[in-house]
Structure 1
Amino acid sequence: MPIVMDKDALSQFLVTDFAQVKDMFTVEEVRDTGVTIRLIAGEQHLRPGGTVSGPAMFALADVSVYLAILAMIGPKALSVTTSCSMDFMRKPVAGVDLLCEVRLLKLGKQLAVGDCLIFSEGKPEPVARANMTYSIPRS
């Protein structure tokens, strides 16, 4: 798949069009098959027990697939999540950023499917896996 929005373009999209999350996420890499997005983990992402919360990991997966799709189709801001399945496999390391590696499995005219692996930075084992389907609006 050809890349339409590179790392700089996606980063700028976060600032100008998705400002409510611009301080939470950083675009690390854009590939022809997906992206890697960083959750800048802070106190607000922790739940009792000192681990990154499930909602924070869901947000990371959701934003990551969204950005992977935009990287391939351009800034169609109304693309929306239609389905998600998420497995929480290990306790993330508290105080450490999380990285989400997305691989787009399907990018059609109306639907996109992405597979995510989420890692604590510096650790080889994934802490969560998500499969997300997005609806793409007609042009």
Structure 2
Amino acid sequence: MPVVMNEDDLQGFLAREFPQTADDFVIEEVADMSIRVRLPVAERHLRPGGTVSGPSIFALADVSVYLALLAMIGPKALAVTTNCSIDFMRKPAAQTDLICICRLLKLGRVLAVGECLIFSEGTEAPVARASMTYSIPPER
């Protein structure tokens, strides 16, 4: 299945549909069934102790799977998360951007399953791993 939305298409979609958070994510690369998304870490993403908060890491994984899905099926704003499992494995580096490498493991008619590895920029070991399932809205 070919990619139907590229980096610019997806960034524009976020700006139109989710203007409140569109600037939080930078889509760096889109390929067949995969995407690379950056979270430029800012003060609002930190928790006490100076590390990136779990909700910020979750948001990066969730948005990455959503965008990987849209890259393959087109702009379907009503696709929704139906399941998530996330392992927080290491403390992210303070004040360092997070990078999510996401790939779709399954892209069906009504469900998609994605897997994410999240890294602090410049580190080899992931800080988190997430598995997510999305429901795809039926055609009307």
TM-score, normalisation: structure 2: 0.98
* Structure 2: gaps spanning 5 or more residues: none
Question: Could you list the per-position Cα deviations for residues 72-125 of structure 1 after superposition, in whole angstroms to 9, with x for gaps in the alignment?
Answer: 000000000000000000000111110001010000000000000000011111
Query: Which residue in the other structure is 1:108 paired with?
Result: 108
Whole-angstrom distance in 2 between the partners of 1:33 and 1:73: 10
Whole-angstrom distance in 2 between the partners of 1:96 and 1:10: 24
Deviation at 1:40, TM superposition (A): 1.2
Deviation at 1:33, TM superposition (A): 2.1
| Count of aligned pairs between the two proteins | 139
Whole-angstrom distance in 2 between the partners of 1:125 and 1:31: 23
Q: Is 1:48 paired with 2:42?
A: no
* Structure 1: gaps spanning 5 or more residues: none
SS of the counterpart of 1:123? coil
Whole-angstrom distance in 1 between the partners of 2:6 and 2:23: 19
SS of the counterpart of 2:23? coil
TM-score, normalisation: structure 1: 0.98
Q: Pairwise mapping of residues 123-138 of structure 1 onto structure 2 (< 5 A)?
A: 123-138=123-138
Whole-angstrom distance in 2 between the partners of 1:94 and 1:77: 33
Identity of aligned residues (%): 67
Question: Could you list the per-position Cα deviations for residues 39-90 of structure 1 after superposition, in whole angstroms to 9, with x for gaps in the alignment?
Answer: 1110100001110000000000000000000000000000000000000000
Query: Which residue in the other structure is 1:33 paired with?
Result: 33
Q: Which structure 1 residue ranges, 4+ long, deviate > 4 Å from structure 2?
A: none
